[in-house]
C-alpha cells in the first residue's frame, strides 16, 4: 500500500473520530536527506499539507523556523553542483 493510500485512510479515520491534533514522526529518507525536506523543496509545502496537516511542534530540536531555514537552504542550492557532488560520492 502506498504512503498516499495510508494517509487517505488515516485522514478519514481522524475526520470520523473528530480528532483535531495528530502527532507523528517522519522517518522516510532518500539517502541522508529527509523526504519531508525534499517534498517541501519540490512542491513548496510539506507532503502532509496535501491533507491539511500543518507543522505544529518540532522534534529532535527541529522547530518550524529551523525547518523553513533548511527548506530555504535547499531551494537555493545549484542542482548541477548537487548532482555532481552526489555522483562523485557514489563512485
Lowest mean pLDDT among 41-45, 65-69, 72-76, 81-85: 81-85
Pick 10 or 85 by higher pLDDT: 10
Q: The whole model's pTM is what?
A: 0.56
91 pLDDT higher than 60: no
Asked if 39 contacts 4 with a C-beta cutoff of 8 angstroms, the reply is no
Place of cell 473520530: 17
In angstroms, rounded to a whole number, what is the distance separating the alpha carbons of residues 32 and 5?
A: 25
Q: Residue 53 corresponds to which cell in the numbers above? A: 496537516
Amino acid at each position: 500500500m502506498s504512503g498516499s493510500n495510508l494517509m487517505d485512510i488515516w485522514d478519514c479515520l481522524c475526520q470520523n473520530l473528530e480528532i483535531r491534533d495528530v502527532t507523528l514522526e517522519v522517518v522516510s529518507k532518500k539517502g541522508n536527506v529527509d523526504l519531508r525536506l525534499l517534498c517541501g523543496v519540490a512542491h513548496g509545502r510539506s507532503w502532509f499539507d496535501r491533507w491539511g496537516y500543518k507543522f505544529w511542534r518540532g522534534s529532535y530540536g527541529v522547530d518550524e523556523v529551523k525547518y523553513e531555514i533548511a527548506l530555504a537552504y535547499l531551494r537555493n542550492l545549484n542542482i548541477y553542483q548537487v548532482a555532481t557532488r552526489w555522483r562523485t560520492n557514489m563512485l
